[in-house]
Amino acid sequence: MNLPLGKLDPELLNKFLSRIPKKDRRIIIGSRVGDDAAVIDFGDKYLIAKTDPITFVSDKIGWYCVNINANDIAVMGGIPKWFLATALMPEGKTTEKDIEKLFKSLISSLNKINVTLCGGHTEITPNLDRPIVIGQMIGEVLKSNLINKDSVKPGDLIILTKGIAIEAVSIIAREKKSFLNKSFGREFVKRIRNFIKVPGLSIIREANIALKSGRISAMHDPTEGGLLGGLYELALLSNTGFIIEKEKIYIYPECKKLSEKFKLNPLKLIASGALIIISEPDESKKIVNALRKNKIKSEIIGKVTSSKSGFKIIERGKTKSIKTPIIDEIGKIL
């Protein structure tokens, strides 16, 4: 049976990751479902290493690649420092101007977060219909500041920043531009194309504020699979369940419009730009207050439960089980 589009189902992926031997004792966090990056002991600090491809979008691909990878360093408590990129450009569709545009996008995006492009690979590749850029972000963190998701436990609260689904909205704006111009008008499309900057894909600022304002059990950047996919990954890693309230989840009006138009579930749409924070109840209140003080929308949307309780959502007063695996809905229209 062929596998569906998108990231591998976490349970299937775990089957293969569990076979990887951990030979180097300096590896603090290796390949695990639900972790955003690897962590390696480098003396007085930890090195954090992450790789992620951009496959759903071709316009502004450098911006997406830099910010998605940087986010995964930030949720571990780290500071992004160095970046490498592999660019696979489609044969017969790539000009020198396209390469120049890609490099400009990468460099300007990296400059905004004070990260250095220190290596990579660029080639023209057969059998591609769009560019694919794979980023490798390296960062560092003081050992005392590392966020290790092993500390997640039942009773912890779930905080969501900004809302959903910022990345999905910006991707649909780019990949369905002509259709959306006819359906919603040019002003609407112009606004949602800018979602990568406002509200923005980067979660570095809010992650830093959260780190300074309260003790954190875990942070996670919900990418493919959206909010539900991100929570599912966290639950598998920490051997817990979760229950969330749909009415507490902020869904951008633009996301609601697109979801209705294309018949998509916004909770399962790629959601970079939002940040999931898990923390104890008293600490959660401090974190939410600090985020709101800095004009970052944030809300406690649910809590961590036991693994036996499974994955649940309360909608209009009714509690429903969430079916897994969770496949990103954006694949239905791209």
- Tell me what pLDDT residue 6 has: 82
Whether pLDDT at 281 is above 90: yes
What is the spatial distance between Cα 223 and Cα 229, in angstroms, rounded to a whole number? 8
The whole-number pLDDT of residue 325 equals 83
Helix (H, G, I), strand (E, B) or coil at 306: strand
Q: What percent of the chain has pLDDT over 90?
A: 86
For residues 279-305, give the mean pLDDT: 98
**Beta-bridge partner residues of 38:** 49
> Residue 146's pLDDT is what?
96
Domains, the chain, in order of start with CATH, read 10-145 (3.30.1330.10), 149-332 (3.90.650.10)
pTM for this structure? 0.93
Residue 195 is predicted with a pLDDT of: 96
Residues 209, 203: Cα–Cα separation, whole Å = 10
pLDDT value for 90? 97
Which helix (H) or strand (E) is 248 found in, with range?
Answer: none
Q: How many CB atoms lie within 10 A of CB 79?
A: 19
pLDDT (0 to 100) of residue 59: 84
Q: What is the DSSP letter of 272?
A: B
- Name the β-bridge partners of 274: 272
Residue 219: beta bridge partners?
Answer: 277
Q: Is residue 35 over pLDDT 90?
A: no
Per the listing, tokens 């504020």 go with: 209
Read off the pLDDT of residues 123-165 as tens digits, 9 standing for 90 and up: 999 999 999 999 999 999 999 999 998 899 999 999 999 999 9
pLDDT attached to residue 64:
93
Q: Report the 10 Å Cβ neighbour count for 327.
A: 18
Higher per-residue pLDDT: 320 or 33: 320
Closest CA to 154 of 241, 244, 237: 241
- For the segment 264-293, the average pLDDT, to the nearest whole number, is 97
Q: So what's the pLDDT on residue 171?
A: 94
Residue, of 84 and 175, whose pLDDT is higher: 84
Q: Is the pLDDT of residue 22 over 90?
A: no
Each residue's pLDDT tens digit, 189-198: 999 999 999 9
Instruction: Check residue 137 and give its pLDDT.
Output: 98
Nearest to 78 by CA among 86, 68, 89, 70: 70
Task: Give the pLDDT confidence score for residue 29 in this predicted structure.
Answer: 93
Radius of gyration over every alpha carbon of the chain, rounded to an integer in angstroms: 19
Could you tell me if 11 and 3 are in contact, meaning their C-beta atoms sit under 8 angstroms apart? no
pLDDT mean across residues, the chain: 95
Q: What is the DSSP letter of 4?
A: P
CA atoms within 13 Å, Cβ hemisphere of 285? 2
Torsion over CA: 144, 150, 269, 301 (sign): negative
H or E stretch including 193?
Answer: helix 186-193
| pLDDT bucket at 299, cuts 50 / 70 / 90 | very high
pLDDT of residue 138: 98
- Helix, strand or coil, per DSSP, at residue 302: strand
Q: Which of 106, 115, 175 is nearest to 134 (CA)?
A: 106
- What pLDDT sits at residue 165? 94
199-250 pLDDT, tens digit each: 999 999 999 999 999 999 999 999 989 999 999 999 999 999 999 999 999 9
Q: Residue 276: its pLDDT value, please?
A: 98
- Structure confidence at residue 21 (pLDDT): 86
Return the pLDDT at 188. Answer: 95
Average pLDDT over every residue of 292-307: 98
Residues belonging to the chain = 334
DSSP string, 27-72: EEE-S-TT--SEEEEETTEEEEEEEEEE-S--TTHHHHHHHHHHHH
